[in-house]
Amino acid sequence: MNKLAKKYLRPSQIPTKACHGCGIGMIENWLLQAIDEMGLKQDDVIFGTGIGCVGRQTFATWGGDNFGATHGRALAVATGLKLAQPDKKYLIVVGDGDAASIGTSHLIHAARRNLGVTVICEDNMGYESTGGQFSPTTPAGYVTNSSPYGMVEPGFDPCDVVKAAGATFVAETTATQWHQTVKIVKKALANDGFSFVHVRFPCNENFGAYALGTRDTLKNLEWIYEHTQGRKADGTETDFTWETGIKHDASNSRPEFSKVLRDMNARVRADLAARAGT
Amino acid sequence: MPLFKAEKKPPKGPAGRWDVVVGEEMCKACGFCLHICPVDVFAWRKAPNRIGWFPMYTAHEENCIGCMLCYQICPDFCIDVSVKGAA
Ligand SMILES: Cc1ncc(C[n+]2csc(CCOP(=O)(O)OP(=O)(O)O)c2C)c(N)n1
Ligand code: SF4
Ligand code: SF4
Ligand code: SF4
Ligand SMILES: [Mg+2]
């Protein structure tokens, strides 16, 4: 086991429940690097999640405090926790289905309120833990378990959505950009406000099998790499390219939600005390 | 086969001064380390581990240049690379 896994993870959960070659573990390894480089201890960070492959692994393996909410509701629980324990860092690690589908309204309003948590949306382009159905981030035309003739619905970019809603830090990377992901997660955690990091990663088991026609771990990772670069190994252009990098950085530019509420609480108390005195 | 070009050029140290440890009992045999290592340090075991995969092992530690690509890419936290004697 690598040093950071020994330092931060729960030994009883290793090996993890993820399939072989699944990108979830890579991203988690980079989250650990960001946490370590920021000098954070197990006690300083709370991991939270909803339901799904991403959630199951990441919440189960973190050695410090963690919680598993119902599908799409991680941010509702995180809001309560942040109000109760404002000094902790929160990593809310959820899937694309969780963040961009069933939990979108929680996502939007957490961004609007500038809740001080970092959401890592780990995007395998579908509902993979339930067998590979399409989600709002499945690329147009791609075959999934529930789109045998190809994805016909238009998708959306969750980064655009949270930015429009008021998130103060928004970024996107993929599972072939580890230096960039570590750097970006550190910035996200340093923002005292709502940070959103969208990371695409390979799911060999379902997305790979349905959309790419292969469970070959190397081919699946290669596909992510090509769509990050916009170019295939043979030099031709890919059908689309993900735009990665920091999309919006207004870190620490407006008050964090739990502070706003505590300030208001103090004002109400002062007001009540003044009235009781008269 | 090189897996893909690394995002950043790996810093290269001299070969022969690195400890490469693979947690074979937790390896799920994805093959990423084998394919990303520029100097062929890894090889497959011929017998399965207790979770049923034929794991990777450090076959040619002496080749290692400490680029850390295998450590970054392993999805199962298996690999540690450190300067000999430092760990
Ligand atoms: C309220 C509710 N609705 C539906 C489900 C069934 N369900 C479990 S996981 C999942 C999809 C998860 O997709 P995503 O968030 O992208 O995670 P992934 O498994 O792809 O990592 C669904 C629909 C559920 N558990 N709870
Ligand atoms: S089903 Fe896909 S996303 Fe889920 S653990 Fe397996 S490879 Fe990873
Ligand atoms: S650090 Fe890993 S990838 Fe790099 S040379 Fe050594 S064994 Fe190979
Ligand atoms: S990258 Fe990790 S899990 Fe994959 S084969 Fe190498 S040691 Fe095993
Ligand atoms: Mg998903």
Interval B3-15: pLDDT, tens: 566 555 666 678 8
Q: Is the pTM of this model over 0.90?
A: yes
Q: Give me the percent of chain B exceeding a pLDDT of 70.
A: 85
- Average pLDDT of the segment spanning A223-242: 94
For A276, half-sphere exposure in the C-beta direction (CA atoms, 13 angstrom radius) is 6
What is the rounded CA–CA span in Å between residue A152 and residue A134? 10
The pLDDT score that the predictor gives to residue A126 is: 98
Q: Which SS3 state, helix, strand or coil, does residue A102 take?
A: helix
The pLDDT score that the predictor gives to residue B4 is: 63
Decide if B62 is inside a domain.
Answer: yes
Dihedral sign of CA atoms A196, A199, A205, A210 in order:
positive
Of the candidates B4, B52, B49, the residue with the CA atom closest to the CA atom of residue B22? B49
- State the DSSP code for A158: H
Q: Decide if the complex's ipTM is over 0.85.
A: yes
Shortest-distance ligand to the CA of residue A52:
1
Q: Which SS3 state, helix, strand or coil, does residue A231 take?
A: strand
Q: In what order do the strands lie in the sheet with A118-123?
A: A66-68, A45-49, A89-95, A118-123, A195-200, A169-174, A245-249
Chain pair A-B, CB pairs under 8 angstroms: 78
For A194, half-sphere exposure in the C-beta direction (CA atoms, 13 angstrom radius) is 24
CATH number for B36: 3.30.70
Are B45 and B54 in contact, with CB atoms under 8 Å apart? Answer: yes
Euclidean distance between the first and the last CA atom of chain B, given in angstroms as a whole number: 31
From residue A131, alpha-carbon distances to A7, A125, A179, A208, B86 in Å are 33, 12, 31, 12, 45
The pLDDT score that the predictor gives to residue A274 is: 95
The pLDDT score that the predictor gives to residue B7 is: 59
Nearest chain A alpha carbon to B34: A218
Shortest-distance ligand to the CA of residue B75:
4
- Average pLDDT of the segment spanning A5-30: 95
For B41, half-sphere exposure in the C-beta direction (CA atoms, 13 angstrom radius) is 27
- B65 C-beta closer than 6 A to ligand 3: yes
Shortest-distance ligand to the CA of residue A124:
5
Q: Who's near B77: CB < 8 A, 6+ residues apart?
A: A1, A2, A4, A5, A9, A14, A25, A28, A29, B23, B26
Kindly state the tokens that stand for A182: 């570590």
- Average pLDDT of the segment spanning B66-71: 94
Kindly state the tokens that stand for A199: 């990371």
The pLDDT score that the predictor gives to residue A233 is: 87
User: Which residues are close to ligand 5, an ion, with C-beta < 5 A?
Assistant: A 95-97, 124, 128
Are A101 and A129 in contact, with CB atoms under 8 Å apart? Answer: no
Kindly state the tokens that stand for A259: 């502070």
The pLDDT score that the predictor gives to residue B87 is: 56
| pLDDT at residue A206 is higher than 50 | yes
Q: Could you tell me which residues are beta bridge partners of residue A135?
A: none
* Digit-coded pLDDT (tens) for A112-157: 999 999 999 999 999 999 999 999 999 999 999 999 999 999 999 9
What's the CA-to-centroid distance between A125 and ligand 5, angstroms? 5
The pLDDT score that the predictor gives to residue B9 is: 62
The pLDDT score that the predictor gives to residue A175 is: 96
Per CB-CB distance under 8 Å, the chain A contacts of B22 are none
- Average pLDDT of the segment spanning B16-34: 96
The pLDDT score that the predictor gives to residue B6 is: 58
Euclidean distance between the first and the last CA atom of chain A, given in angstroms as a whole number: 66
What is the rounded CA–CA span in Å between residue B85 and residue A135? 49
Residue nearest to atom 21 of ligand 1 (CA): A53
What is the rounded CA–CA span in Å between residue A48 and residue A273? 38
Nearest chain B alpha carbon to A8: B77
Decide if B8 is inside a domain.
Answer: no
- Average pLDDT of the segment spanning A21-28: 97
Q: What is the CATH number of domain A3-277?
A: 3.40.50.970
Mean pLDDT of all residues in chain A? 96
Counting the structural domains of chain B, the total is: 1
What's the CA-to-centroid distance between A262 and ligand 1, angstroms? 34
Q: Give me the percent of chain A exceeding a pLDDT of 70.
A: 100
- A95 C-beta closer than 6 A to ligand 1: yes
- A124 C-beta closer than 6 A to ligand 1: yes
The verdict on whether omega for the bond into residue A15 sits within 30 degrees of 0, i.e. cis, is yes
| pLDDT at residue A31 is higher than 90 | yes
Phi and psi at residue A215, to the nearest 5° = -100, 10
Of A23, A24, A218, the CB nearest to B3: A218
- Average pLDDT of the segment spanning A75-81: 98
- Could you tell me if A63 lies within 8 Å of chain B, comparing CB atoms? no
Nearest chain A alpha carbon to B51: A15
The pLDDT score that the predictor gives to residue B15 is: 87
Instruction: Assign 3-class secondary structure to A120-152.
Output: EEEECCCECCCCCECCCCCCCCCCECCECCCCC
Of the candidates A257, A255, A263, the residue with the CA atom closest to the CA atom of residue A110? A257
Of the candidates B45, B33, B29, the residue with the CA atom closest to the CA atom of residue B79? B33
| pLDDT at residue B1 is higher than 50 | no
> What is the span of the domain harbouring residue B40?
27-78
| pLDDT at residue B38 is higher than 80 | yes
| pLDDT at residue B2 is higher than 60 | no
- Could you tell me if A2 lies within 8 Å of chain B, comparing CB atoms? yes
What is the pLDDT confidence band of residue A259, given thresholds at 50, 70 and 90?
A: very high
Decide if B9 is inside a domain.
Answer: no
Decide if B60 is inside a domain.
Answer: yes
Decide if B61 is inside a domain.
Answer: yes
